[in-house]
Structure 1
């Protein structure tokens, strides 16, 4: 089989706070990813990232760099699901790659709420996220992982999923999470593992300004989520305090939309409890 060349696509953007509002200071992109739209949300800036291709193919590499200057406040989402296409072992490179770096200066806020990741049959995805926090900065993110196109009976037929998140505060590593899922080799549906659940989600919140009262309120919020509203799709969720400056929630269900609803409730709660701001209803619904 003919080897496919690596295609690297880059998106870089910087936000600054000026005249009472956050704006894009500069941006750069190479096809097929770009900022499709930005719009004001009071003093906050909303940004939608678009992928103009069918999705990540074997050998594709997306590199995204986000720089939030001091006191800026941005909300970043994506236009649609991230689709990851098959990546057979024959030929090189093997897999698709996405790397994101978030650099937040003092008192900057970034809310990263992308649409779910969809892993097609034989897909291989390597996802790496690095976060660098200044003093008083706040970073939030919600990720949702789908097991494949269930309507095409592709459930857990992807080849491999690797992900990592590293968070630094003041140059010190304060959180590191690694995950590797290989459905063909792991007993994901065994008791104590994923059991009957198929879709997974993670919500992260990091800031050196997190107080004990806020931690208690967020834990109570997670315990009181209206699970009954999710109908026939059960949702299990747990939220824990990290060793320093953070909260991480993990959730599981049998469909993507209940997890989107659960992540939205946690996100809206975090906006009110930690940021003292009202929910955003325009996007990620």
Structure 2
């Protein structure tokens, strides 16, 4: 495995307009200092019938130990857990993640637990993700939910560079905060900003989505926004048009359940034959995760011909 890595960009989100009001430095340690400037590089390559984690570089507090092969539906699929050694994302943190799949490679990337954006009284945190898929490759990027704590400020940018015949399933689940903590923290964070861009390897831009939530400025649960729901899932599928059409025909959409188990789901076609975008609204985490899992099941079956394994008993 590689032990050297080029330096990632120096905090490219620092100039975002929505972060202008949060430029004060944390009293504990300056933004982006050692221990707050995390970097993770994962490179997957095909070796015979199996894909391996051929390139790994990590800088605390981000950590990956090794690829595991426990998926009964795809036993040759490397499953990688991204780990944070800091217990969450803190004020002044600057994270960067690069994931690359060589031709024909396949991988599943997730997190060890929910991403907790800790309470903040100064500055902000950022995450930059660059994900590149070469011809014929397949990636499932399915991290656990994101939980923004009270007064947190967080901005992310994800760039999906996907070959025309490759498939990337990228999903995020955003909670309203620590909903059941003490008297509840529902939409008590200051800022959540998430931008996703899809491009081809030749640089051609396919689509862009920019989600900016500022609960103190706009009522998040208003009609046309969350509409009374608390949990949002956003899944982006970049895949060839014929695969996208098959997935769209089978994806679960509409309203399901009642009370806290109710969900609302919808699907749209991305511009420029890039694929699909699938969104889920719900009151609680598990019903939303179940809908994302159902969508993932359709994607894996249509792209690889394999089934998603049963949930672990503790999930």
Partner SS for 2:180: helix
1:216 is displaced (CA, Å) by 4.9
* Residue equivalent to 1:259: 288
Could you tell which deviates more after superposition, 32-41 or 127-136? 32-41
Q: CA deviation at 1:190?
A: 2.0
**Partner residue of 2:29?**
4
* Pairing partner for 1:274 from 285, 296, 303: 303
Report the secondary structure of 1:156's partner residue: coil
Provide the residue aligned with 1:42 in structure 2: 75
Distance 1:154 1:234 in 2: 21
Q: C-alpha displacement at 1:3, in angstroms? A: 6.7
Q: Partners in 2 of 1:118 and 1:223 — Cα distance?
A: 25
Alpha-carbon distance between aligned partners in 2 of 1:114 and 1:21, rounded to the nearest angstrom: 22
Shift of residue 191, structure 1, vs aligned partner: 2.2
CA–CA separation in structure 1 for the residues paired with 2:223 and 2:266? 17
2:263 alignment counterpart: 235
Secondary structure, counterpart of 2:260 in structure 1: coil
Q: Give the TM-score, by structure 1 length.
A: 0.91
Given that residues 238 and 275 in structure 2 are in contact (C-alpha distance below 8 angstroms), is that contact kept between their aligned partners in structure 1? yes
**What are the ranges of 5 or more consecutive residues in structure 1 without an aligned counterpart?**
none
Structure 2 vs 1, CA of residues 217 and 14 (structure 1 numbering), >3 Å: closer, same or farther?
closer
What is aligned with 1:138?
167
Distance 2:64 2:170 in 1: 18
Which residue of 2 is the match for residue 125 of structure 1? 154
Post-superposition CA distance 1:9-33 (Å, at most 9, x none): 1111111001210001110101121
Residues 29-178 of structure 1 mapped to structure 2, 5 A cutoff = 29-40=58-69, 41-88=74-121, 90=122, 94-152=123-181, 153-170=184-201, 171-178=203-210
Backbone CA RMSD of aligned residues:
2.0
- Higher-strand-fraction structure: 1
Matched, 1:20 2:56: no
Residues 250 and 298 in structure 2, CA contact (< 8 A), matched pair in contact too: no
Instruction: Provide structure 2 residue ranges, at least 5 long, that are not aligned to the other structure.
Output: 1-25
* Separation of aligned partners in 2, 1:159 and 1:111: 30
Checking the alignment, whether the CA contact within 8 Å between 1:218 and 1:270 is kept in structure 2 is no
Contact kept? 2:253, 2:264, Cα under 8 Å: no
Secondary structure of the 1:150 match is: coil
Secondary structure of the corresponding residue to residue 132 of structure 1: strand
Say if 1:156 and 1:183, in contact at 8 Å, map to a contact too.
yes
| Structure 2 counterpart of 1:222 | 252
Determine the C-alpha separation between the residues in 2 that align with 1:124 and 1:190.
21
TM-score normalised by the chain length of structure 2: 0.83
